[in-house]
């Protein structure tokens, strides 16, 4: 690594690799720093059993290279983590990105030096590098969060957080395994390890509306069609509300008879993926009565699939309707609870009191375990940034700036932090977005912006504080009128984020993917209003 670069990118995940590719294409000297020993970001760290896409593989892939579409063939409609990690490595090799990536380099601090208006980036091992621009491609769900239970470090068996899964295979056979959590990650782990374990105990605080993923291999004929239509599929995704290949029905649920609605729910349920969510009527996110009806449709499925009525009731969400959180995609998840060796512990009724050397103690019972898995999610959106010591002008820390919740201009810059960009920090449309589609938009915007500065004799860009206030307000306002407005128990609201101290904050922008794309394009076309260029 040299002493200085024009741009330092942090993170070799979907958005970091893409931004590196784009910046290099424009001739910038750029180095990418990555904490892991390999590339892939989310798809490197989340190597837990059952990890896979929840969006169709061919809608999640990169869109920038026709050659790439033609050369890479997905084996399944919803590819699993090992294949996705191979894809990320294939992309890095194909575009010769590795030579500009520094692995094993966890960034500890990023400090702005006002004397020469550059950034000093220091790794945990003490290495330092300087850059005019920093792009934090550090991810939105990448700072794992453990619960703060008494004794959380006391367990004598194997403790694993889902996002820090070891590379070596874990033998679950005959083991007593506990899983804390019931989000999309927990569901994937539970349904994958259940056939192997000796005894499985699921510690569930909030049930979720899981729907069948309907994954299957891609056969040769399908493959031919998918390769031929690759660009078209990505274009379709750019035009749908959430960047998936499912498009909202042009009709509201109220325009359709109940009989027709119920038949439609069944059709979408059979289709799989996010079809029931984003292929449904266009008032999915705004009409509670409609969301409740879909919820009741799903509750009936759970009752049919889970033999013990009391267990079925515990698995039916009671505090949020369908569509207000990202729904886990499942396969045989509910049937797992019919196995004699699987126990569901309802943490709302009997909370965990402490973790002990031998396992988990709730207010009612003790559970001796060999392996304890935390699928407890992340310090979402802000965590990856706040865990780095980032200091802008006049030594202002990001922790200080965001002590009352994040403030950003378009989710991409923060006033007081010149030439610092985030690809997927707070205030992005990540709640509903197919990640790669939005990551590419952010990567393009940043690359075009830095190129614009260079080509027009500017050396610096910084969010304008008034524009930042307006954008931050817009993000809070974007949730008004949506059913999720009055909910606070999901990562959209940072429910696991210690810096929010339990305060209610919507951490995203709840607009559509086409609006996001258009808004970013307009600001660039108009010479970056809302930003101060020097």
Q: Residues in the site for ligand NAP, rule: CB under 6 A?
A: 52-54, 141, 147, 180-186, 188, 205-206, 326, 347, 375-377, 489, 491, 495-496
Cβ neighbours around 239 below 10 Å, total: 12
**Shortest distance in whole angstroms from residue 338 CB to ligand NAP:** 21
Taking the complex as a whole, the smallest distance from the CB of residue 32 to ligand NAP amounts, in Å, to 23
Judged by CB, which is closer to ligand NAP: 274, or 281?
274
Cα 308 to Cα 152: distance, rounded to the nearest angstrom: 32
CA–CA dist 170, 245 (Å, integer):
35
Minimum distance, C-beta of residue 57 to ligand NAP, in the bound complex (Å): 11
Of 144 and 416, nearer to ligand NAP (C-beta) is 144
Which residue's entry shows tokens 């920038």? 64
Q: How far is the CB of 404 from ligand NAP (least distance, A)?
A: 22
Evaluated on CA atoms 234, 59, 207, 490, the torsion sign reads negative
CA dihedral angle for residue 17, residue 18, residue 24, residue 30, rounded to 10 degrees: -40
Alpha-carbon distance of 215 to 531, in angstroms, equals: 44
- In Å, how far from its chain's centre is CA 136? 15
Residue 378 has a CB neighbour count (10 Å cut-off) of 24
183 vs 426, beta carbon nearer ligand NAP = 183
DSSP β-bridge partners for residue 513: none
Q: Taking the complex as a whole, how short is the minimal distance between the CB of residue 39 and ligand NAP, in angstroms? A: 18
- Residue 479's SS3 state is coil
- The residue (of 79 and 230) whose beta carbon lies closer to ligand NAP is 79
Structure tokens at 449: 């912006």
Q: Which residue has the tokens 């059709």?
A: 267
For 5, the enclosing helix (H) or strand (E) is strand 4-10
As measured in angstroms, the least distance from the Cβ of 347 to ligand NAP is 5
Smaller CB separation from ligand NAP, 80 or 291: 80
What the block records as the tokens of 514 is 């086409």
Contacts of 221 (CB under 8 A, 6+ apart): none
Query: CB of residue 302 vs ligand NAP: minimum separation in angstroms?
Result: 16
- State how far Cα 391 lies from the chain centre: 25
Residue 96 token pair: 């010769």
Q: Which is nearer to ligand NAP, 205 or 251 (CB)?
A: 205
Closest chain position to ligand NAP (CB) = 183
SS3 for 86? helix
- Whether the CB-CB separation of 155 and 356 falls below 8 Å is answered with yes
Residue 132 phi, psi dihedral angles, 5° rounding: -75, -35
Rama region for 41: left / alpha / beta (φ>0; ψ in -120 to 50; rest): left
Nearer to ligand NAP, 132 or 206 (CB): 206
Helix or strand or coil: residue 243? coil
Residue closer to ligand NAP (CB basis): 290 or 493:
493
Structure tokens at 315: 């698995």
Nearest approach, Cβ of residue 480 and ligand NAP (Å): 22
CB of 325 to ligand NAP, least distance (A): 7
* CB nearer to ligand NAP: pick between 312 and 375: 375
CB of 35 to ligand NAP, least distance (A): 19
- Residue 243, class by beta-carbon neighbours within 10 Å (0-12 exposed, 13-18 middle, 19+ buried)? buried
Tokens of 324: 């207000």
Q: H helices within 26-144, ranges in order? A: 42-45, 57-60, 66-71, 81-94
Task: Tell the smallest beta-carbon distance from residue 187 to ligand NAP (Å).
Answer: 7
Specify the residue, 273 or 443, whose C-beta has the smaller distance to ligand NAP: 273
Nearer residue to ligand NAP within complex by CB, 419 or 434: 434
The nearer residue to ligand NAP, 23 or 345, going by C-beta atoms, is 345
Could you tell me the smallest distance in angstroms from the CB atom of residue 330 to ligand NAP?
10
């Amino acid at each position: 690594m040299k002493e200085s670069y024009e741009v330092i990118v942090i993170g070799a995940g979907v958005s970091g690799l893409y931004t590196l590719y784009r910046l290099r294409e424009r001739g910038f000297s750029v180095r990418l720093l990555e904490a892991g020993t390999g590339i892939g970001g989310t798809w490197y760290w989340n190597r837990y059993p059952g990890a896979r896409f929840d969006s169709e593989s061919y809608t999640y892939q990169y869109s920038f290279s026709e050659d790439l579409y033609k050369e890479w063939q997905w084996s399944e409609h919803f590819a699993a983590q090992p294949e996705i990690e191979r894809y990320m490595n294939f992309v890095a090799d194909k575009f010769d990105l590795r030579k500009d990536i520094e692995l094993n380099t966890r960034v500890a601090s990023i400090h702005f030096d006002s004397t020469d208006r550059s950034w000093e980036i220091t790794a945990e091992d003490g290495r330092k590098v300087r850059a005019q621009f920093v792009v934090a491609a550090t991810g939105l769900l990448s700072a794992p969060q453990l619960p703060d239970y008494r004794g959380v470090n006391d367990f004598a068996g194997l403790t694993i957080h889902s996002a820090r899964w070891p590379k070596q295979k874990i033998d679950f056979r005959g083991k007593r395994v506990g899983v804390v959590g019931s989000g999309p990650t927990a569901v994937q782990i539970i349904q994958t390890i259940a056939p192997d374990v000796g005894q499985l105990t699921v510690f569930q605080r909030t049930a979720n509306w899981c729907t069948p993923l309907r994954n299957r291999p891609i056969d040769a004929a399908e493959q031919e069609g998918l390769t031929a239509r690759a660009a078209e599929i990505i274009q379709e995704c750019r035009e749908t509300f959430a960047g998936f290949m499912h498009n909202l029905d042009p009709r509201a649920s109220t325009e359709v008879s109940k009989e027709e609605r119920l038949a439609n729910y069944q059709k979408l349920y059979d289709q799989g993926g996010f079809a029931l969510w984003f292929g449904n009527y266009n008032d999915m996110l705004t009409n509670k009565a409609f969301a409740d009806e879909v919820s009741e449709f799903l509750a009936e499925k759970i009752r049919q699939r889970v033999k013990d009525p009391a267990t079925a009731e515990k698995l039916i969400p009671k505090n949020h309707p369908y569509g207000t959180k990202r729904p886990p995609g499942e396969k045989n998840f509910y049937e797992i609870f019919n196995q004699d060796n699987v126990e569901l512990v309802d943490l709302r009724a009997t909370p965990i009191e402490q973790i002990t050397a031998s396992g988990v103690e709730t207010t009612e019972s003790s559970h001796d375990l060999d392996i304890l898995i935390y699928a407890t999610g992340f310090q979402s959106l802000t965590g990856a940034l706040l865990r780095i010591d980032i200091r802008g002008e006049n030594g202002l820390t990001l922790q200080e700036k965001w002590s009352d919740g994040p403030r950003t201009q378009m989710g991409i810059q923060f006033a007081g932090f010149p030439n610092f960009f985030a690809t997927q920090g707070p205030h992005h449309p990540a709640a509903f977005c197919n990640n790669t589609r939005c990551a590419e938009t952010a990567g393009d915007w940043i690359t075009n912006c830095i190129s614009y500065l260079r080509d027009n004799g500017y050396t610096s860009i910084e969010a304008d504080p008034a524009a930042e206030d307006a954008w931050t307000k817009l993000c809070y306002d974007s949730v008004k009128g949506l059913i999720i407005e009055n909910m606070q128990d999901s990562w959209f609201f940072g429910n696991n984020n210690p810096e929010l101290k339990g305060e209610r904050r919507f951490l995203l922008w709840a607009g559509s993917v086409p609006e996001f794309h258009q808004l970013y394009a307009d600001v660039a076309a108009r010479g970056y209003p809302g930003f101060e260029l020097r």
